[in-house]
Structure 1
């Protein structure tokens, strides 16, 4: 697997095992050590590459240690401080990193709970760790634009200078993106006022602000949905996503009555963000068996299909999300579908083994 595929595989593992991880030690063993070894490429059992419970003698309080120090070319380059997976990552947890950053040659510090990784350097003052990270990696929602920068810290292509040079831009772009994301989820008064004042000619009073708040939220959600559908149209090479999805469903996975109904009536297909999120979860699960690019999707009126190699004869799963009770359809070796009820998208991971088995049967 290439770098991105290994990252997706680790993300799938984290989602699948998250509920059973209770302690910091378990977090290290299950999530963080695999990140150091499979993603960054360092041998966690070689003390010349990875030093657990790292201690520096100068200027550090006795008894305090950093969980891991990564050594490259004989020098400590990266410091890692760990927290248990169910504990939020906060800068208040980084006191050891601050002190050790000043007395070692390390230019990169990582604070993590195994799911969220915050990367720090010394942009604001030399040899003093910044208060804000320049890169934030969330394994529950991987930002693909960060993957090339993360790869520069891996053993095989370690390029510290390039990472530091890009850190300033990454830091501010990342902060801006997180602010925008927060506004889409829960807009503050300034955000509401900004858009209201551009479409409403009167004074933006409290009553007007209350009137426009749900409108701004709804417009933001529709805008995101339009952007997602636009990308899908481009990927499919068609101007009409719904028409393409209906035509591609013509060679349906089975001859069930509901499939025939979909083919006869192909109006009203709407690909939802929830279906796309479910598709990404399925793809993350099965990327341990095949390259993610081989896992594709097609939408129909009553289900959302996940296929191998964009082939109707190679169904991996069906997502039945157009109803109050959601189901994920699992296929056996004879391509017979069994619908498993789920209450949240995370429950798709409960069927990871069956999904991988389905893919493996086509290889």
Structure 2
């Protein structure tokens, strides 16, 4: 199982159970230990890999304990301090991490409440833990661009030097993204002033500020939407890129699909490629936030690789049209009408995660807002 699938499985568990977790100890058992074992791959019951209640005397501080120390190649490499789920993380919570960081070999310190994980190192001064994290991973909304960096701390792919070398860039990119996200959510006066003075020649008075606050907010949202739409148009090759077809209609590009095979297997006369399996794994990882991975089944045919909920043809999640020069990802609306979206690689599937999750929610009978691909572009029905 890839790290993306493992992370999504933990995210689903957190979403289901965090309301019932009320203590720090319960947070450790329910979420942090699975993070260490399932996501990172360490044996939490092997003291040669994971040391709970790790103790190292620090100056006059005797007997203080860190919740977990992760050992790799016989050396303590990662320190983890845990707070109760739903408690906001503050740097004041990390006083023991600061002290232990200076007297152990650890180069990575993690402060977590079981849902949000803040990763620290010593970029600013050697052997002194930074006051700001270089990476923040939130399991309520997993940023999959960060998972390759997380994988470098996993037992089977541990690469500390690579993590440290990337930490500086990650630190500032992460902070900039959070600043921008905050401004898009609610522009601050300084941000409004900065933009207003670029387009308005008069004095920036309170009246002008009140006038421009909604304008700045509207302009930023329109700009973001336009950028997304432009990139989609370029990637999809123009306004005729989308093709829609009913999920229940016969495939018009070839003869009838091959007979169904047992779950996860292809019919004898169908060749399942590694690329199709990669695409299937990505779809399964994405929708693990909604259902257990075991319920997401792949079924290959002569013309496409189908991904179904509960191995049921009436519950399509996606179709992978990879048996051609131009690859397509097929997604479905509430009427089971398929929209084929051109993609360049299997990784592009992540860009359409909302469509996949929405399809699963519909099959589960959950209320979910429909997600329209490339708002403003009209899908083109496939003609018989």
Query: What TM-score does the superposition give when structure 1 sets the normalisation length?
Result: 0.71
State the alpha-carbon separation in 2 of the partners of residues 115 and 308 from structure 1. Answer: 29
- Taking a change above 3 Å as real, the CA distance of residues 317 and 162 of structure 1, as seen in their structure-2 partners, is same
1:159-180: per-residue Cα shift (whole Å, max 9, x none)?
1111111111211111111111
- Kept after mapping to 1: 8 A contact 2:119/2:133: yes
Residue 196 of structure 2 corresponds to residue 186 of structure 1 = no
- Rounded to whole Å, the distance in 2 between the matches of 1:83 and 1:157 is 27
Residue 94 of structure 1 deviates from its aligned partner by 0.4
Contact map agreement 1:122 1:130 (CA 8 A) in 2: yes
Deviation (angstroms), 1:136: 0.9
Matched, 1:210 2:210: yes
Q: How does 1:98-137 map to 2 (within 5 A)?
A: 98-137=98-137
Gaps of 5+ in 2: 250-284, 299-304, 309-314, 322-329, 336-357, 371-384
Tell me if the contact between 1:12 and 1:285 (Cα under 8 Å) persists in the aligned partners.
Answer: yes
Matched, 1:308 2:318: yes
The equivalent residue for 1:266 is none
* Cα displacement (A) at 1:58: 4.0
Tell me, yes or no, if the aligned pair for 1:327 and 1:340 is still in contact at 8 Å: no
**Distance (whole Å) between structure 2 residues aligned to residue 134 and residue 184 of structure 1:** 22
Distance in 2 (CA, whole Å) between partners of 1:251 and 1:294 is 14
Check the 8 A contact 1:60/1:99 in 2, yes or no. no
What secondary structure, in the 3-state scheme, does the structure 2 residue paired with 1:192 have?
A: helix
Does the CA-based 8 Å contact 2:151-2:157 persist in structure 1?
yes
| Kept after mapping to 2: 8 A contact 1:27/1:113 | yes
- Helix, strand or coil: the match of 2:94? helix
- The residue matched to 1:125 in structure 2 has which SS? coil
The match for 1:285 is 290
Kindly report the root-mean-square deviation, in angstroms, between the aligned alpha carbons of the 2 structures.
Answer: 3.5
Question: Contact between 2:306 and 2:316, CA under 8 Å: does it hold in 1?
Answer: no
Q: Determine whether 1:89 maps to 2:94.
A: no
| Other-structure match for 1:240 | 239
1:23 shift after superposition: 1.3
Does structure 2 conserve the Cα–Cα contact (< 8 Å) formed by 1:295 and 1:306? yes
**Where does residue 356 of structure 1 map in the other structure?**
none
Match of 1:284, SS? coil
Alignment of 1:212-361 (within 5 A): 212-230=212-230, 232-233=232-233, 237-240=236-239, 244=242, 247-248=243-244, 250-251=245-246, 282=287, 284-286=289-291, 288-289=293-294, 290=296, 307-309=317-319, 318=334, 330-331=362-363, 339-341=365-367
Deviations 1:52-72 (A, max 9, x none): 011013426234210000000
With normalisation by structure 2, the TM-score equals 0.67
1:16 aligns with 16
Shift of 1:119: 0.5
The answer to whether the 8 Å contact 1:14/1:31 transfers is: yes
Change (3 A) 1:130 1:286: same
Q: Aligned residue pairs: how many?
A: 294
Moved more, 84-93 or 216-225: 216-225
> SS in structure 1 opposite 2:42?
coil
- 1:53 aligned partner: 53
1:291 deviation in Å? Answer: 8.9
TM-aligned CA deviation for residue 308 of structure 1: 2.6
Shift of 1:86: 1.2
8 Å CA contact retained: 1:317, 1:330? no
Against the structure 1 CA distance between its residues 85 and 295, is the aligned structure 2 distance closer, same or farther, given a 3 Å change threshold?
A: farther
Q: C-alpha separation between the residues in 2 aligned to 1:71 and 1:317?
A: 48
Retained in 1: the 8 A contact 2:109–2:120?
yes
In the superposition, relative to structure 1, how do residues 239 and 3 fare at CA in structure 2: closer, same or farther (>3 Å)?
A: same
- Measured after TM superposition, the shift of residue 309 of structure 1 is 2.1
